[in-house]
Homo-oligomer: A and B are copies of this chain.
Amino acid sequence: MSVPAPRPKAVVLVSGGMDSAVTLAEAVAAGFDAFALSFDYGQRHRIELEAAARVAASLGARRHVTLRIDLRAFGGSALTADIAVPKDRLGHGVAETEIPVTYVPARNTIFLSFALAWAETLGAHDLFIGVNAIDYSGYPDCRPDFVSAFERLANLATREGVEGRRFTVHTPLLRLGKADIVRRGGELGVDFGLTFTCYDPQGPSAATRPCGHCDACTLRAEGFREAGRPDPVSG
């Protein structure tokens, strides 16, 4: 009897939203043994973290780690400080190239740095992040140039890189619109009812609902509408 080769390990950033759920599903579908990583960074909407745990379990991640980091010590974003989340902004004449106040300084740089640390510890050479350059709210650290610059950094920053094993930052959603992400998630069996995507959740914690008006809600709703599917969360 031959022993099957172990699956290569990958670290996948999982936020609890629909994009990172589809990203995790892509990693698993590609044959990776997935290690899911989430961050408790003082975000006002902690319901995301519960969604991240549900998503990681439902898609078969081997481990799910939530790291607590204290971005609130720096302030500067509507997601971590006391600044109002903008509503009904997209598609109403507001320049979508403008960087919104919900931008968290250097967030994806920090998240990928921790993913890299875990990957190096695990002996993994593959990182997955659900960034998207189409319907992406204008965050600078979601662009392809950012991702390739991080990949380059990873290969200079680590023992593994120095010893000639290359890190790859996989971005399976990079060129997909939100409707494509909904369709692809459907093909991969993602249960979108487990995900949560809203910058400003409403109601008591036991029955929290998305606000339906922030950028994240607006983009999600457009995605389901264009894909011709009901959103199991808002629907």
Instruction: Point out residues on A near B: beta carbons under 8 Å.
Output: 65, 67-71, 73-76, 99, 103-110, 113-114, 116-118, 120-121, 140-141, 143, 145-146, 149-150, 152-154, 156-159, 161-162
Contacts and interface: CB of A to CB of B under 8 A. Distances in A.
B113 A162 contact: no
A78 B114 CA distance: 18
Nearest to A115: B106
A106 B157 contact: yes
Contacts of A74: 117-118, 121
Given A71-B117, A74-B118, A149-B149, 12 more contacts: A69-B69, A74-B121, A75-B121, A76-B121, A104-B117, A105-B116, A106-B114, A109-B154, A113-B113, A141-B157, A149-B157, A152-B152
Given A105-B116, A105-B120, A116-B105, A153 B156 contact: no
Nearest to A139: B159
A159 B107 contact: no
A114 B67 CA distance: 14
Contacts of A159: 99, 103, 105, 140
Contacts of A67: 69-70, 73
A146 B161 CA distance: 11
Given A65-B73, A105-B120, A99 B162 contact: yes
A195 to B, nearest CB: 24
Nearest to A104: B117
A157 B150 CA distance: 9
Contact of A109 (B105, B113, B118): B113
A98 B29 CA distance: 37
B117 A105 contact: yes
A149 to B, nearest CB: 4
A65 B75 CA distance: 13
10 contacts: A76-B117, A99-B159, A105-B116, A105-B158, A105-B159, A109-B116, A149-B149, A149-B152, A150-B153, A153-B153
B149 A156 contact: yes
A33 to B, nearest CB: 16
Contact of A149 (B76, B103, B153): B153
